[in-house]
Amino acid sequence: MKNISRKFAEYLLNHFIGNFIGFAIGMASTRLVAHFFTTRRLGNLWGLASRKTVVDRDTFHGMEWAIAIIIGFIVFEIVSKWVKKKTDQLLPKYKFTRWMTEEPAQEAVK
């Protein structure tokens, strides 16, 4: 039972934190596309007064999605590996979380 609880807690910690931070960074990275590109609209006189590269609206949204997915995935992987390493170091120190790091005893096979 402790092994199942340990794996469940480890899964929640790694994936929840990694997914959340990866998602947040991925969504924030869409501003990267807006920094270099723009679409035609009334505010920039349909691209004539723009200092940025003008692209089609569908291309702009496609680039936003691609950048969000790529950067979000990279951040997710980095955070997941870092959290795993940190939990392996910190959990044995505390009495309340020591059960998560103890290896289950192997029962004797008859």
* Per-residue pLDDT tens digits for 72-91: 888 888 887 887 787 777 76
> What sign does the CA torsion over 36, 41, 46, 48 have?
negative
Average pLDDT over residues 90-98: 62
Mean pLDDT rounded to a whole number for the chain:
77
Give the number of domains in the chain: 1
Q: Which residue has the higher pLDDT, 61 or 100?
A: 61
Flag whether 107 is in a domain. Answer: no
Question: Worst-scoring range by mean pLDDT, 26-35, 58-67, 81-90?
Answer: 81-90
Flag whether 23 is in a domain. Answer: yes
34-59: per-residue pLDDT in tens?
888 888 888 778 778 888 888 888 99
What residues contact 31, with CB distance under 8 A and at least 6 apart?
none
Flag whether 109 is in a domain. Answer: no
Structure tokens given for 108 = 């004797």
Flag whether 71 is in a domain. Answer: yes
Which range marks the domain in which residue 80 is found? 2-101
Closest CA to 72 of 30, 16, 110: 30
